[in-house]
């Protein structure tokens, strides 16, 4: 089948990797990019050889079947609703939405129109985390018991060109980076059952030191330290910490301990390795070869796999059910901190099927 035309709304920092996704994934063809700031859309379009159009024109284009929504978090839900109303599938940047209510409305609208919603992150489809999943399912660490997921950072104002939204509703370390860690945990351990959390704002004001907004002050409106425990339906427990408040180099950890061994997973914001395994009786961690294809920066793999799934009439992997469950998890940390008690989750999801090591099949006509 010919590649499916895809449009992009949002010409920000992340758009570049999606604009070149069709060079990696032959079942999609990125045709146009739109942004409220047409100068940004034109700049990205010229750089990547695409067409710059208005949002209205992109949504009216009858050829475009799926839209990748790369707008700031506050716009994820309203833009996705417009895409669905236009009769197109949508793939949102993370998080799925800011509020659970908006996410529910999006999902209901998609179901009523027979359309699909996908959502980043798609890093769980990379070779590193897929290798970890295969090891867990083969019993390499026995029964998973405890996980540590930590993203410790000094914040984004030193490098991001427009960092203010990271400190407004829909931002913060949990809503920005939490989706990578929580999506990885759900894909490896299954759905969560309940959460306890604690939060704080360490610095009520931030000063941008990056260009072009150097010296601009940001009023912080969301917690910049979110920590807590997650109990999974499988009875495994995870300690999760995300923060923009530490001094020094950023640190990333995702480690899963089991009854027969332990697994050091790669940074869930990446697609590759390393993957390290330590079985009962081992003195040192052993590197595990990654035999899956996607180990470089492969953002867009979730879009391509979604397009394939639609054509084949099967569920796609970076799906709305998992994204909604992760969204509820993130809210649960904050809600638990505010209430001072455990918060039980109402949603659940099944971990997506593992991605075959050689996906996609070399026979491109199967896509």
pLDDT of 11 over the 90 cut:
yes
Task: Work out the mean pLDDT of the chain and round it to a whole number.
Answer: 96
- At 88-139, the pLDDT tens digits run 999 999 999 999 999 999 999 999 999 999 999 999 999 999 999 999 999 9
At 89-102, the pLDDT tens digits run 999 999 999 999 99
What's this model's pTM, rounded to 2 decimal places? 0.95
Per DSSP, the three-state class of 140 is coil
Domains of the chain: 4-119 (3.40.50.720), 125-287 (3.30.360.10)
- Report the C-alpha gap between 129 and 131 in whole angstroms: 5
Q: Is 254 exposed, middle or buried (0-12, 13-18, 19+ CB in 10 A)?
A: buried
- Phi/psi at 80 (5° precision): -60, -40
């Amino acid at each position: 089948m010919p590649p499916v035309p895809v449009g992009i709304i949002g010409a920000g920092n992340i758009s570049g990797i999606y604009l070149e996704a069709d060079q990696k994934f032959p079942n999609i063809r990125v045709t146009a990019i739109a942004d409220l700031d047409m100068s940004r859309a034109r700049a990205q379009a010229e750089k990547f050889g695409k067409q710059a159009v208005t949002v209205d024109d992109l949504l009216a284009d009858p050829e475009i079947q799926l839209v990748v929504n790369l707008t700031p978090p506050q716009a994820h839900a309203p833009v996705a609703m417009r895409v669905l109303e236009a009769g197109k599938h949508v793939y949102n940047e993370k998080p799925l939405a800011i509020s659970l209510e908006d996410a529910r409305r999006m999902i209901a609208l998609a179901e009523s129109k027979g359309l699909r919603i996908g959502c980043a992150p798609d890093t769980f489809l990379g070779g590193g985390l897929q290798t970890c999943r295969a090891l867990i399912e083969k019993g390499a660490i026995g029964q998973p018991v405890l996980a540590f997921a930590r993203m410790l950072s000094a914040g984004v104002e030193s490098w991001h060109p427009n960092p203010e939204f990271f400190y407004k509703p829909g931002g913060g370390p949990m809503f920005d980076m939490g989706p990578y860690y929580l999506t990885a945990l759900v894909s490896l351990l299954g759905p969560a059952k309940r959460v306890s959390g604690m939060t704080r704002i360490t610095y009520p004001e931030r000063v941008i030191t990056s260009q072009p907004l150097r010296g601009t002050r940001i009023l912080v409106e969301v917690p910049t330290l979110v920590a807590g425990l997650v109990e999974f339906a499988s009875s495994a427990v995870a300690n999760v910490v995300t923060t923009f408040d530490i001094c020094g180099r950023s640190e990333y950890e995702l480690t899963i301990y089991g009854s027969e061994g332990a697994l050091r997973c790669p940074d869930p914001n990446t697609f590759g390795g390393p993957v390290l395994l330590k079985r009962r009786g081992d003195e040192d961690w052993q590197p595990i070869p990654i035999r899956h294809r996607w180990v470089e920066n492969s953002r867009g793999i979730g879009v391509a796999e979604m397009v394939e799934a639609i054509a084949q009439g099967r569920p796609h992997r970076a799906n709305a059910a998992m994204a909604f469950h992760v969204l509820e998890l993130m809210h649960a940390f904050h809600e638990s901190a505010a209430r001072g008690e455990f918060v039980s989750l109402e949603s659940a999801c099944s971990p997506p099927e593992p991605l075959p090591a050689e996906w996609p099949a070399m026979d491109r006509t199967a896509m």
